[in-house]
Structure 1
Amino acid sequence: MKQFQNFEEENIDYWTGRTDGYSNVNQEELASDQKMVWSRVLAKKITAHFPKKTPEEIRVLDIGTGPGFFAIILAKMGYQVNAVDYTASMLEAAVQNAGEMAEKIQFQQMNAEKLDFAEGSFDVIVSRNLTWNLHHPEKAYGEWVRVLKKNGLLLNFDANWYRYLWDETAQQGHEKDRKNLSTSDVRDETEGTDVAAMEAIARQTPLSGKQRPEWDLTVLRTFGMEAKADPEIWKEVWTKEERINNASTPMFLVEGVKKDA
């Protein structure tokens, strides 16, 4: 068994090992209707908030880009895109997945809890399935708010992943999901992953035991954000496979706006 000096080292090692499998998932999304599904959802939110701006006038930061799915579809829509991830192999996969679009995206290795950008750098911040995995999520939110411009928009898509490790009701829901999955016609999304290693990491991440998105809304409001949540965004963006695999942990959207001073 590998020995790690700290949580960050363990986390990076895990996601480095997950890079190929995670990249394959992103490639499937880019080759399927999911590309259009997510493009519509993101464009709708951004256009509603900036009705007088064209995509070319809007600077977007994709935090925890992984193999690049959000960054790629946003760049194809014409937005100015920066994309960051803490894992070097994920960024390498993102560049490969982007193909000719890679030159239109600024990919950078960076810690989501300590961003190397100036205050007020971005109009929009997007993220998917990241915050649950952070060791200091409140610190991360503070950084994200810092680099947003006034009236900037935050769109964070996440779920109560691994809450079953802490909550009996969630555990029952997780077991029901696994049972339903075994009799379904969709693949098990955990195939090829080290579930024990991921659970070991989840036990060290504070958000695994929190009730979300309530926690997120409370924290964002302490930073002066106007914040709201859509607990049913999964109905717009999830495939049949995702719905069966993760029925008890539906994806939510945390949406925040940085108030004017």
Structure 2
Amino acid sequence: MAQPNRDDDAVKELVRRHWDGRAATFDDERHHGIHSAEQRDRWLAVLREWAGDDPRRVLDVGCGTGVVSLLLAALGHDVVGVDFAPAMLDRAREKARRANRSVAFLRGDAETLGLAADSVDLVAARHLVWTLPDPAGALREWQRVVAPGGRIVLIEGYWDHDEPWDEYEHVAGDLPLYDGRPPDELTEVLVREGLSDVTHAPLMDPTLWGREPRHDYYVIGGTVPR
């Protein structure tokens, strides 16, 4: 089980190892990849509602294989994807090439982004905050790179697994939001870290996940104060 006070770099290395190991088959799972036109259209509708209609500079943090990045690019946004796992980024770049989408995929740490302040209009992340040793610090960092009045939009969930698995057996106790949180609890975190106008909505349509949802999924967003 988890060891308390583990060095964050060691935690991140185990997390990286986990996701690099899953990169080759990640999109094969119906609730991860896009497997039908109907599923794609439904995700586009969700992202359009939360990202807005006007083209924006978007940072997809923890982009993985680029699923959300490519959907946002299809909506006309200028997208950069960042992830800590090189194998995931390799898959994302190949998918962007095949789709003829101009998305920059960069290796980086979600908690310490190498981007200028106020350089994007929107930060998006899907199922990321539970993997971070310092999610509160990450939220502050994301606000730093978002221009005042911009948004942070998270696709999240509450998994409540019985036991951690794989590398997470060793680091779960070092991850404050491991297994996710119900939306009201994550709302409190976002408000405490300075976001305003925080709202959330369920994402329980089976079309989104390619199956009946097995966990509680939702989208939550807040505004970076001016």
TM-score, normalized by length of structure 1? 0.74
User: Cα distance 1:75–1:160, how it changes in 2: closer, same or farther (>3 A)?
Assistant: same
Contact 1:132 1:159 in 2 (8 A): no
Superposed counterparts of 1:227-246, under 5 Å: 227-235=197-205, 238-239=208-209, 241-243=211-213, 246=214
Superposed counterparts of 1:138-217, under 5 Å: 138-162=136-160, 164-165=162-163, 195-208=165-178, 211-217=181-187
Pairs aligned (count): 218
Aligned match for 1:35, one of 32, 40, 45: 40
Local SS of the residue matching 1:251: strand
Contact 2:160 2:180 in 1 (8 A): no
Q: Which has the higher strand share?
A: 2
CA offsets, 1:110-143, max 9 Å, x none? 1001111111111111111111111111111111
User: Cα distance 1:72–1:241, how it changes in 2: closer, same or farther (>3 A)?
Assistant: same
Structure 1 Cα separation of the partners of residues 179 and 40 of structure 2: 31
Corresponding residue number in structure 1 for 2:15: 11
Structure 2 Cα separation of the partners of residues 80 and 29 of structure 1: 21
Structure 2 Cα separation of the partners of residues 75 and 202 of structure 1: 33
Aligned match for 2:216, one of 242, 250, 258: 250
Any unmatched runs of 5+ in structure 1? 166-193
Q: Does 1:20 align with 2:20?
A: no
User: Cα distance 1:162–1:83, how it changes in 2: closer, same or farther (>3 A)?
Assistant: same
Contact 2:61 2:83 in 1 (8 A): yes
TM-score, normalized by length of structure 2? 0.84
Equivalent AA in structure 2 for residue 21 of structure 1: T
User: Cα distance 1:240–1:25, how it changes in 2: closer, same or farther (>3 A)?
Assistant: closer
Contact 1:133 1:207 in 2 (8 A): yes
* Root mean square deviation, CA, Å: 2.6
Corresponding residue number in structure 1 for 2:107: 109
The structure showing larger relative contact order (alpha-carbon pairs under 8 Å, at least 6 residues apart) is 2
User: Cα distance 1:198–1:144, how it changes in 2: closer, same or farther (>3 A)?
Assistant: same
